[in-house]
Structure 1
Amino acid sequence: MIEANKLTKTFRDRKRGLVRAVDRVSFQCQPGQIFGLLGANGAGKTTTLRILGTLLEPTRGSATVAGFDVVKEPEKVRRSIGFLSNGTALYGRLTAREMLGYFGRLNGLEGSQLKSRVDELIERLEIGDFEKGRCDKLSTGQKQRVSIARSIIHRPPVMIFDEPTTGLDVMTSQTIMTFIEQCRDEGLTVVFSTHIMSEVERLCDEVAIVHHGRIATEGTVAELKAQAGEEVLENAFLKIVQGFDLETPAAEASASPNA
């Protein structure tokens, strides 16, 4: 599972001084559950997920992923996660099959075990028609299929998705959302960030609304709507964050624009 406990991340900005991109964020995500972080751009979602993925160290607070501390045991955390965003990079000179083989070897797979896993993912994600194509020649949808396969080559128990559908066409977005649902059905622990309300309604078992680096509220989609007294999630979101702004001192309501 994933457990975040009062995660805080501050940055030094030349103009604004000390900025809190993530401010005392706490939540839990259980196996077989999709936990959503819903918020506008700059809310602190990406910074939170980068901490969970060991790309950033928290200024304060702690987090464990699959039982491993993100600061004290970063290598074990990395072996336990798959991380997918809309900008997951591929090496353009490698073919799709070569790409999966390369990342399989990086994750300790070798010989027949590696070949079997690559073959399995190529079939599962329907990569066979372009497995010999160089990654820089693939379509956006094809690249995303390879990125998905790359992220799960080592069978991680935890998946982290950072706005993975942003800028993608409808068909590619559907492929990603179906894959996220499959991760939940297979019992993986899934945390998913987005600013797209329809994705939250389709995918998330629990949702935390993130605003100015803090969690404004948390619950199921139905509970968030009931809390705000709204039938539409977008209206509920707006009412909740507006109320949160009124309750939050201006000095605490700063967040990194790149968070």
Structure 2
Amino acid sequence: MTLLGERRRTERPRAGRTTAVPAALVAISHGTNSADGQAAIKALVDGVALARPDLAVTGGFVDVQQPDVAASLGAVRPDSAAVVVPLLLSAGYHVHVDLQRETSAHDRVTALSRALGPDDRLIDVLEYRLRAAGLDSLAPGREIVLAAAGSSDVRAVEDCRRVGAMLQQRLGVRVTVGFLSAATPRVACAVTAARLRGASVTVSTYLMAPGFFFDLTRAQGAGADQVTAPLLLPGETAPAPLVDLIIDRYLEAKEHAQLF
């Protein structure tokens, strides 16, 4: 499977609507103190900009880093609307509360897209990371623990469980969703339970990029045979499915809000 640097298409045009200034795409990630995580997210935003040179594409952060959401929206040219695309895998507090509040409070005409997950293209990247780690889904006694950050928002937890079910269907291997915080079972407990069933265990990292939660994944997944890399890594070209997914979230939100 090849993901890096290949894209299925460059755009999905909208018939009958043209404008000199299409809505800007403002990609908002969580933010991290990890230099590797920062570089990986920047490469993703740069990949989106490269795929859509007709759009003003910029990045920002909901926490930890700057510019924040308000500053990111303020930097968009005055005659342009904006679509905020959360670079977040699940729709939890940051999407339903923080980003809703920030976009509603801004003077600019702004639309907010859905979170990235669940989506089959995330499964594509998860599978790629698993295959790169040497997973043989046909080997007997294999199990996967999908390691997600966790949330107190039940909607985000359900999003993660849906991704786990999608990955299980894709690979034909038992997948248990484990969480690093806020929700249960915790990753370490899920790994232990799989071990007690006599399984060979791979932890599939369902995180955007290196950082605090990836360090926690490796710690909680210490009892597994292997822990995969997160979806993004510094020094790599942004995976084509993620670039496509972000562009589609932008187009979907723009269409729903009837923005140019």
Length-normalised TM-score, structure 1: 0.30
Length-normalised TM-score, structure 2: 0.30
* Greater percentage in strand: 1
